[in-house]
Amino acid sequence: MGMSIFGSRKKRILVNDVHSHLIPGVDDGAKTLDESISILKDLEGLGFKQVVTTPHIYRDLYPNDESDLKVKYQELSERIKELKLNLELKLAAEYFIDDHFLSRIKNNVELLSFGDRYVLIETSFSTLPLIWDEVIFELKSSGYKPVLAHPERYQYIMDDRSFLERLKMNNIKLQVTAVSLIGAYGVGQQKIARYLVKKKWVDFIGTDLHNRSQIEGLNKTHPNRFYQKALALPLLNYQL
Q: Can you give the binding site for Fe ion, defined by CB under 5 A?
A: 94, 208
Q: How far is the CB of 90 from Fe ion (least distance, A)?
A: 15
Query: In b/e form, how buried is each residue of 138-164, taking b as 16+ CB within 10 angstroms?
Result: bbeeeebbbbbbbbbbbeebbeeeeeb
Q: How far is the CB of 27 from Fe ion (least distance, A)?
A: 8
Q: How far is the CB of 167 from Fe ion (least distance, A)?
A: 18
- Return the SS3 of 94: strand
94 versus 138: smaller Cβ distance to Fe ion:
94
Transcribe 122-182 into DSSP letters. Answer: E--SSS--TTHHHHHHHHHHTT-EEEEE-GGG-HHHHH-THHHHHHHHTT-EEEEEGGGGG
- Of 170, 171, 189, the residue nearest 179 (C-alpha): 189
Q: How far is the CB of 208 from Fe ion (least distance, A)?
A: 5
94 versus 203: smaller Cβ distance to Fe ion:
94
Residue 69: CA count within 13 A, CB half-sphere: 24
User: Distance from CA of residue 23 to its chain's centroid?
Assistant: 14
23 versus 228: smaller Cβ distance to Fe ion:
23
Nearest residue to Fe ion on Cβ basis: 208
96 versus 144: smaller Cβ distance to Fe ion:
96
Q: Reduce the secondary structure of 187-237 to three states and give it as a string.
A: HHHHHHHHHHHHCCCCCEEECCECCHHHHHHHHHHCCCHHHHHHHCCCCHH
30 versus 228: smaller Cβ distance to Fe ion:
30
22 versus 230: smaller Cβ distance to Fe ion:
22
Q: How far is the CB of 9 from Fe ion (least distance, A)?
A: 32
Give the whole-angstrom CA distance, residue 159 versus residue 143: 31
Q: How far is the CB of 20 from Fe ion (least distance, A)?
A: 8
